[in-house]
Homo-oligomer: A and B are copies of this chain.
Amino acid sequence: MGKISVCLSPALIHLHDIKNSIVVVIDIFRASTSMCYGIANGAVGIIPVAEVSTCAIYKDHGYLLAAERNGEVVDGFDFGNSPFSYVEEKVKGKTIVLTTTNGTKAIHLSKEAKCVVVGSFLNLTALCSWLNRQQDDIILVCAGWKDNFNLEDTVFAGAVIHRLEAQHTKDDAAIAAESLYLTAADNLHQYLEQSAHSARLKHLGVQKDIDFCLQIDILQSIPILKGDRLVALEY
């Protein structure tokens, strides 16, 4: 019987046995959603980098450069992490270099894992079907907001746990995440509207991004980390 754990903040990742587990990185608003959408729309790869300065190094080498800090596109970059920037017309056949406030950091902290994949409501069922075929322990890493716990990443983690078929041993955070998902499931939009990040994005005028990120099962792709980049998992 495998274990499933939820890491509620990147600041708690040292408490988890990353090396021997499959890690699912979750940053619902909006990095992990955009990564899933970009890969589904034909991006060849997405290179997550931790710093804006690292992202800038890739300039003039044929990459699309995406940089977000505090919810906004960093000046001088092609785009940030709004999913509407990851449409087929923009990303098909391209490699994107991406840095975000939380999501790319969570990927970097997880890279020693057996395997790192990216989850979002957009690919929820595809992701869970794949996880159901794996034998390893699973750690769901919530990117949070600047190391703070956040509601939407945890509720998504709960949605994954609720869909796993095998009887996994759950840590307390996994039990809590599943309870939160069950509380939120019937009205996901309304429940997550209370969250700090929803307020932040609304303030930035990107309510449509929130709605986009809460669409369930609109695509089948699962981004997986291979070397320095996320590519489409072949399954």
**Interfacial residues, chain A to chain B (CB-CB below 8 A):** 8-9, 11-12, 15, 146-151, 154, 170-173, 175-176, 179-180, 182-184, 194-197
Chain B residue numbers with a CB within 8 Å of A173 are 148-149
| Pairs across A and B, CB under 8 Å, 16 listed | A8-B9, A8-B149, A9-B9, A11-B11, A12-B12, A12-B148, A15-B146, A148-B173, A149-B171, A151-B175, A171-B196, A175-B195, A179-B183, A179-B184, A180-B180, A182-B183
Could you tell me if B196 and A172 are in contact, using CB atoms closer than 8 angstroms?
A: yes
Assess the B15–A12 pair: CB atoms within 8 A: no
Q: Hey, which chain B residues are within 8 Å of A9, CB to CB? A: 8-9, 12
Per the bound structure, the CA–CA distance linking A66 and B62 in Å amounts to 65
Asked if residues A148 and B176 are in contact (CB atoms below 8 Å), the reply is no
C-alpha spacing A198/B22, complex, angstroms: 27
Instruction: Name the residue on B nearest A172 (C-beta).
Output: B151
Majority SS at the chain A contact face: helix
For A180, list chain B residues within 8 Å (CB).
176, 179-180
Known: A8-B8, A180-B180. A175 touches B194 (CB 8 A): yes
Contact of A183 among B154, B183, B195 (CB under 8 A): B183
In the bound complex, CA of A150 to CA of B150 (Å): 16
A179 to chain B: closest residue by CB: B183
The answer to whether A149 touches B195 (Cβ under 8 A) is no
B179 pairs with A150, CB closer than 8 A: no
Please indicate the chain B residues that have their CB under 8 angstroms from the CB of A196 in the complex: 171-172
Report the Cα distance A150→B173, complex, angstroms: 7
Q: Which residues of B contact A171 (CB under 8 A)?
A: 148-149, 196
For A5, the closest partner residue in chain B by CB is: B148
**Closest 5 A-B residue pairs measured CB to CB?**
A151-B172, A149-B173, A179-B183, A150-B172, A172-B196
Interchain CA distance A197-B175 in the complex, whole Å: 13
Complex Cα distance, B12 from A147, in Å, reads: 8
Most chain B beta carbons < 10 A, residue from A150, A151, A176: A176
Q: Closest CB of chain B to A191's CB: distance in Å?
A: 8
* CB pair B12 A149 closer than 8 Å: yes
Tell me, in angstroms, the Cα distance from A195 to B195 when the chains sit together.
26
Say how far A181's CB is from chain B's closest CB, in angstroms: 10
